[in-house]
């Protein structure tokens, strides 16, 4: 059973950034409005995630570490609507199988909080404790018991960069949540959580970027496109800053990326990879989500409609801007 957990863990948990992604998504699912991620040694030594969300009931804490223990699917309908980020009940069990996890949590109504420590998938401590409402997870010594996986980790600074990237994208997806990232004692991200996408862009990428973005806004045939596209002065030689979100989630979709680049190229007569924070919202039943461990791929029932709408949205934005 434990070996099975360790093998399954590899599919979801590849590196510290995967732990951060899963845990921040859990905090979001728990309605947190403020989330802090603190790491040491690229997250390999420790990852601490503090949220002010709903917390976990005392009796449910140990259960949450079991595979397929999810509190989130109530019906197939829920699954197709994907109202929550996670839905498979895999992440916590996978993380706990390959690290030492400590959790301190308290719900609004509970008299005391609960503290549980799980090492390599086994509960080694469970006790009541004082705690504020919300949940704190500390994941220590990732892959301490899976040397083969440990070996594949990159330099601490590289792992920290992956984490930075995951957190930036989640922060852009959710400008309504204040997200803080502390790397080796230094605060490197702190978004306001004021619902405003431009202030979130400003806080993540700085003044020069925030000044060089053009708002995009178009709704056509049920496809809503919003966000920002950057002026050529902040475009890049690679696609790292082409950030696309579908129905509030960070995704990869070839159709949207191509539409953005083609519109950009046609308007500006130069081939560039524009800085983009583009949100595409479609009726949930018209999008197929294929959950892949590393990235989330989506397919639309009408790819053509999405292509044309994104193309028009970006093209209109550029034609109205002074460049
Ligand atoms: P899933 O998110 O797919 O349900 P996970 O393994 O990620 O599965 O989490 C298992 C369960 O643990 C969740 O369904 C939730 O009930 C609980 N949980 C995990 N993290 C948190 C959190 N930060 N706040 C509240 N509950 C949480
Ligand atoms: Mg989850």
pLDDT, tens only, 239-256: 999 999 999 889 989 999
pLDDT of amino acid 67: 82
CA of 66 to the centre of ligand 1 (A): 10
Asked whether 171 and 28 are in contact (CB, 8 A), the reply is no
What is the number of the ligand 1 atom nearest to the C-alpha of 69? 10
The ligand 1 atom at the shortest distance from the C-alpha of residue 71 is 14
Q: Is the model's pLDDT at 268 over the cut of 50?
A: yes
Residues 189-223: pLDDT tens digits?
999 999 999 999 999 999 999 999 999 999 999 99
Residues 6+ apart with CB under 8 A from 151: none
H-helix or E-strand spanning residue 249: strand 249-250
Ligand 2 geometric centre to CA of 91 (Å): 5
Query: Which residues, including other chains, have CB under 8 Å from residue 269's CB and lie 6 or more apart?
Result: none
The pLDDT confidence band at residue 88, using thresholds 50, 70 and 90, is low
Q: Residue 289: its pLDDT value, please?
A: 79
- Domain 2-190 falls in which CATH fold? Heat Shock Protein 90 (3.30.565)
Q: Does 3.30.230.10 match the CATH number of domain 212-320?
A: yes
Higher-pLDDT residue of 321 and 222 is 222
CA 134 to chain centre: 19
Residue 323: the pLDDT is 77
| Cβ–ligand 1 contact at 56 (below 6 Å) | yes
**Ligand 1 neighbour 88 (Cβ under 6 A):** yes
The answer, yes or no, to whether residue 81 has pLDDT greater than 80, is: no
Ligand 1 atom with minimal separation from the 49 CA? 23
Cα 246 to averaged position of ligand 2 atoms, centre (Å) = 19
Predicted ipTM > 0.85: yes
Q: Is it the case that residue 82 has pLDDT exceeding 70?
A: no
- Confirm if 24 and 35 have CB atoms less than 8 A apart: yes
Which of 64, 91, 108 has most ligand 1 atoms within 8 Å of its beta carbon, as the pocket-test mutant? Answer: 64
Supply the pLDDT for residue 37.
99
Q: How buried is 150 (Cβ within 10 angstroms: 0-12 exposed, 13-18 middle, 19+ buried)?
A: middle
Decide: helix, strand or coil at residue 168: helix
User: Of all residues in the chain, what percent carry a pLDDT higher than 70?
Assistant: 89
Residue 244: its H or E element? strand 242-246
- The protein residue whose alpha carbon is closest to atom 1 in ligand 1 is 89
Whether 27 is in the pocket of ligand 1, judged by its Cβ within 6 Å, is: yes
pLDDT at 43: 98
Q: Which tens digits make up the pLDDT trace of 144-188? A: 999 999 999 999 999 999 999 999 999 999 999 999 999 999 999
- Is the pLDDT at 79 greater than 80, yes or no? no
Query: Which ligand gives the minimal distance to the CA of 88?
Result: 1
pLDDT of residue 296: 80
Q: What is the mean pLDDT of residues 55-68?
A: 93
Across the range 288-311, mean pLDDT stands at: 85
Confidence check: pLDDT of 74 > 80: no
d(CA 283, CA 224) in angstroms, rounded, equals: 10
In DSSP notation, 21-74 reads HHHHHHHHHTT-SEEEEEEEGGGTSEEEEEE-S----GGGHHHHTSTT--S--S
| CATH 3.30.565.10 residue spans of the chain | 2-190
Average pLDDT, the chain: 91
**Residues of each domain in the chain carrying CATH 3.30.230.10:** 212-320
């Amino acid at each position: 059973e434990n070996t099975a957990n360790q093998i399954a863990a590899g599919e979801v948990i590849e590196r510290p950034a995967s732990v951060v992604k899963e845990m921040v998504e859990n905090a979001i699912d728990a309605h947190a409005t403020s989330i802090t991620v603190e790491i040491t040694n690229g997250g390999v030594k420790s990852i601490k995630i503090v949220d002010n969300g709903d917390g976990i009931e005392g009796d449910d804490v140990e259960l949450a570490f079991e595979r397929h223990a999810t509190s989130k699917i109530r019906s197939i309908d829920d699954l197709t609507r994907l109202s929550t980020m996670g839905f498979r009940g895999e992440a916590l069990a996978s993380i706990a199988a390959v690290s030492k996890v400590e959790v301190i949590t308290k719900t609004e109504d509970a008299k005391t909080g609960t503290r549980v420590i799980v090492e390599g998938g086994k509960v080694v401590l469970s006790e009541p404790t004082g705690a504020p409402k919300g949940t704190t997870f500390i994941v220590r010594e990732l892959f301490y018991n899976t040397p083969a996986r440990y070996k594949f980790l990159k330099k601490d600074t590289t792992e920290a960069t992956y984490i930075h990237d995951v957190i930036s994208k989640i922060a852009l997806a959710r400008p309504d949540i204040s997200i803080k990232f502390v790397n080796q004692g230094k605060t490197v991200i702190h978004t306001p959580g004021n619902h405003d996408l431009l202030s979130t862009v400003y806080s993540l990428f700085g003044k020069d970027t925030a000044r060089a973005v053009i708002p995009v806004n178009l709704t056509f045939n049920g496809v809503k496109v919003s966000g920002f596209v950057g002026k050529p002065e902040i475009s890049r030689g690679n696609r790292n800053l082409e950030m696309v979100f579908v129905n509030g989630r960070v995704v990869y979709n070839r159709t949207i990326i191509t539409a953005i680049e083609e519109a950009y190229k046609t308007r500006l007569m130069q081939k560039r990879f524009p800085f983009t924070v583009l949100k595409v919202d479609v009726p949930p039943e018209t999008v197929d989500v294929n959950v892949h461990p590393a990235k989330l791929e989506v397919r639309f029932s009408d790819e053509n409609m999405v292509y044309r709408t994104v193309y028009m949205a970006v093209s209109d934005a550029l034609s109205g801007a002074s460049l």
